[in-house]
A and B are shown apart, each in its own frame.
Chain A
């Protein structure tokens, strides 16, 4: 049975979060999962140009995911890649499910996710940061969004895979999941590897539990920032 050295199989890595770190943005946040660090900034709702892209019935959400060239061991050439474009798209869908874009006709909400340091789970950290940034920007949301990767490493079902587990020689399956905590609905689901449907069910339950823990951290971080402005004497 695959074993981890420094945590249980159902235990995520140590996490940390901060809000309001980029002052020029309308909302911003940092989310750290183990050695993966994601920054997110939100600008909007703002006017969308060119004008022909405007939709008089509802607004648009644009998510841009990008990794710093030095965020990984082998430098990534700056600029979008097919991978980053795909991750931008699925992240956009993950966040869309918590927004009511009909409230922002003709406008755009821009979300920028930057990965400062990568050790797997970057799109999940990015979504956790982005959903906090949206709340920090005061954009009406139906719920926050929490995300974590689950999967199988060797023969064990695990949560929050790090890079060494993603690359595990004897086989590994990686399944990023994003969820809205209140009703447990999934807004991002991807998978690559090889898993039975029973294992997938177990992994999804594990994802739900972990997302609830992540939600508590997101909630606490958001409240603390604004609490600092609401002390009671």
Chain B
């Protein structure tokens, strides 16, 4: 009975009416007002049968349980660490979720993660008031050393990773760098040389700015040129 008022995959701005009629269901990035579904951010309209949603093109990271994120330690308290993952609130890594090692009461916590250390962690819980809990227990979660940390727009992360990891594999292969992409938009890059790291950084900035272009993979492939001599990690 209702009507879709915009094209699928078009850009909408806040306040734009996307669909009319109670048949349609608002998913993310939109809200309902009476019988209308309205965009609440700038984003790409995504219509899937009766689900109307918007993929935001900007905005802060919205923390979700289960997401893998990268952040840096900004404070150490007596029962854990405070980590900046780029949200309005800092996240907390409690002692009991920090490592599979046993940590004694009263131990110096900075032995494990010190001020300004960078960690790859998982969000274990997000409370109603957006308090975020992290855990470091799990595969792939660890402290990282060296390298560069850059900020990409959280909504572009899927593009940086690519379908089944195709884009990130391309980046790793052509630059020879280790790359970890957090769902919060933080990307860690470590390469053999500054030049290879810079190449990866520039490529990721390109993807960030052209995320919704078609033919992006070709563009990035062209930019990256041939592969670096990759030293396989043991």
Contacts and interface: CB of A to CB of B under 8 A. Distances in A.
Interface of A: 26-27, 44-47, 56, 98, 104-107, 135-144, 180-182, 218-219, 222-223, 226-227, 229-233
B209 interface: yes
Contacts of B16: 219
B88 A104 contact: yes
Nearest to B90: A47
- Which 3 residue pairs are nearest across A and B when measured between Cβ atoms? A138-B59, A143-B15, A138-B58
Contacts of A56: 129
Contacts of B209: 229
A233 B59 CA distance: 26
Contact of B11 (A44, A45, A180, A226): A226
Nearest to A180: B15
Interface string B1-18: 000000000010111110
Looking at B57, B88, B211, which has the most chain A CB atoms within 10 Å of its CB?
A: B88
Interface string B168-199: 00000000000000000000000000000000
Contacts of B57: 138, 226, 229-230
Contacts of A227: 11
B195 to A, nearest CB: 25
Nearest to B12: A223
Given A138-B58, A226-B57, A229-B209, A143 B14 contact: yes
A222 B13 contact: yes
A221 B214 CA distance: 22
B14 A141 contact: yes
B59 to A, nearest CB: 2
Interface of B: 11, 13-17, 31, 33, 38, 40-42, 44, 56-60, 88-89, 129-130, 209-215
A233 B214 contact: yes
A44 B87 CA distance: 10
Given A138-B41, A229-B213, 8 more contacts: A47-B88, A47-B89, A105-B129, A138-B42, A140-B59, A223-B11, A229-B211, A232-B214
A59 B88 CA distance: 11
Contact of B15 (A45, A142, A223): A142
A107 B130 CA distance: 11
> Which of the listed residues B33, B42, B57, B209 has the most CB atoms from chain A within 10 Å of its own CB?
B42
A182 B38 CA distance: 10
Contacts of B211: 229
B166 to A, nearest CB: 18
Nearest to A139: B59
Nearest to A59: B88
B60 A45 contact: yes
B18 to A, nearest CB: 12
B129 A182 contact: no
Contact of B42 (A106, A143, A182, A222): A222
A219 B39 CA distance: 12
A136 B41 CA distance: 9
Given A104-B88, A233-B213, A135 B31 contact: no
A180 B60 CA distance: 24
15 contacts: A105-B130, A107-B88, A135-B41, A138-B41, A138-B59, A141-B40, A143-B15, A182-B15, A182-B17, A219-B16, A226-B11, A226-B42, A230-B57, A231-B210, A232-B213
Contacts of A233: 213-215
A233 to B, nearest CB: 5
Contacts of B17: 182
A106 B11 CA distance: 31
A13 to B, nearest CB: 23
